[in-house]
């Protein structure tokens, strides 16, 4: 088996050619990627459900829009919290209830009391479900050209305009990917 170079903390940005409607114009933050598979959350799929409707204690800490996001097509009945800690939570100062994923981005233990993290959080997003890939499955999709892999920025997690995130992430690339941001929503209308 070939060694898998970890993409944890990077973004998967759906190419216009990706045919799966679950991932049309999706921006996925990879929370885990190794030889056993990959797990991430779709950052740009807000739902109409307020965070307070399902996790009342976390509602005041969730960034705008204060809704639950559909993290992916898998386990929609489960919730994941992703938060940014300003300054990245120094190794000896990471708050209880937060586990670093990459840089200042980490997972929140939603079973922990919210007040344990309240003073440390810069932003918080709650996701229903996740996107998952078995061993080698994501690598196959990358070879097929389904995804662009780009660096994440802490602000991606809490974008106040998630519907524009796909274009914004592509536009900030210093390559031909920036041009993909201008791709028409429906190319048949051109």
pLDDT in tens, the chain (190 residues): 344 578 999 999 999 988 899 999 999 999 999 999 999 999 999 999 999 999 999 999 998 999 999 999 999 999 999 999 987 655 556 788 999 999 999 999 999 999 999 999 889 999 999 999 999 999 999 999 999 999 999 899 999 999 999 999 999 998 888 888 887 766 555 4
Q: How far apart are CA 98 and CA 112, in angstroms?
A: 9
Three-state DSSP class for residue 39: strand
The predicted pLDDT at position 177 comes to 84
The predicted pLDDT at position 5 comes to 73
Give the predicted TM-score (pTM) of the model: 0.91
Among 18, 40, 23, residue whose Cα is nearest residue 156: 40
Structure tokens given for 36: 């056993």
The predicted pLDDT at position 186 comes to 60
Among 122, 102, 97, residue whose Cα is nearest residue 112: 97
Query: What pairing do the DSSP bridges indicate for beta strands 67-70 and 123-133?
Result: parallel
**Eight-state DSSP code of residue 187:** G
Among 28, 27, 71, residue whose Cα is nearest residue 49: 71
Contact 144, 106 (CB under 8 A): no
The predicted pLDDT at position 188 comes to 54
Structure tokens given for 158: 């809490």
Helices (H), the chain: 51-54, 137-143, 154-157, 165-171, 177-180
């Amino acid at each position: 088996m070939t060694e898998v170079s970890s993409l944890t903390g990077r973004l998967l940005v759906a190419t216009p050619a990706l045919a799966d409607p679950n991932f049309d114009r999706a921006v996925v933050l990879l929370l885990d990627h190794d030889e056993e598979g990959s797990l991430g959350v779709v950052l740009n799929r807000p739902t109409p459900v307020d965070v307070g409707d399902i996790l009342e204690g976390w509602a005041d800490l969730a960034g705008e829009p204060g809704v639950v996001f559909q993290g992916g097509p898998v386990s929609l009945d489960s919730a994941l919290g992703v938060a940014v800690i300003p300054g990245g939570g120094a190794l000896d100062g990471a708050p209880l209830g937060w586990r670093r994923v990459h840089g200042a981005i980490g997972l929140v233990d939603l079973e922990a009391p919210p007040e344990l993290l309240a003073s440390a959080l810069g932003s918080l997003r709650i996701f229903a479900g996740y996107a998952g890939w078995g061993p080698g499955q994501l690598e196959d999709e990358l070879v097929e050209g389904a995804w662009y892999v780009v660096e994440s920025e802490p602000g991606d997690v809490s974008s106040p305009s998630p519907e524009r995130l796909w274009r914004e992430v592509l536009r900030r690339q210093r390559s031909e990917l920036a041009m993909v941001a201008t791709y028409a929503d429906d190319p048949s209308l051109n």
